[in-house]
Amino acid sequence: MTAATASWLLFSLPCNLTAGNLFSLKMPYRVNPGRISRQRGSSANALLSLLVQLGVLAVGAAVFAACWYLDRMGLATPIFLILAVAAFLLWHRVLASTDAIAYQRRDALMATLMKTD
């Protein structure tokens, strides 16, 4: 069970990093350090981040439930490792395309990040 949980973490980390990279480029917002306690972040970012978390948890629960139902809990670790490799490859692909995404959205990124509130 410990190995399955650790392999699930290896799957969930690249999923969250991929989503964070995409959200930062597609829906940026500027953080003002002087007003950080009163400043609210992007609501769309928060909602989509929550949906990503729920999706990752749902995948984990589905794998554990299927393995428990089939009485093959030993299969959870290799399944999560395969999912972790797929998530890592997706994360690597998104990282490779961040320059292109940022270049396409450069005007919106500069307008958001250089705002004087």
Residue 92 lies in a domain: yes
Residue 11 lies in a domain: yes
Structure tokens at 36: 């950080």
Residue 90 lies in a domain: yes
**pTM here?**
0.77
Cα of first residue to Cα of last residue in the chain, in angstroms, is: 50
User: Among the listed ranges 39-53, 77-91, 97-111, which one has the minimum average pLDDT value?
Assistant: 39-53
**Average confidence (pLDDT) over 97-110:** 83
Q: Which domain holds residue 102?
A: 1-15+77-117
Residue 51 lies in a domain: no
Residue 50 lies in a domain: no
d(CA 54, CA 51): 5
Residue 108 lies in a domain: yes
Number of independent structural domains in the chain: 1
Report which residue type is found at 86. Answer: A
Residue 88 lies in a domain: yes
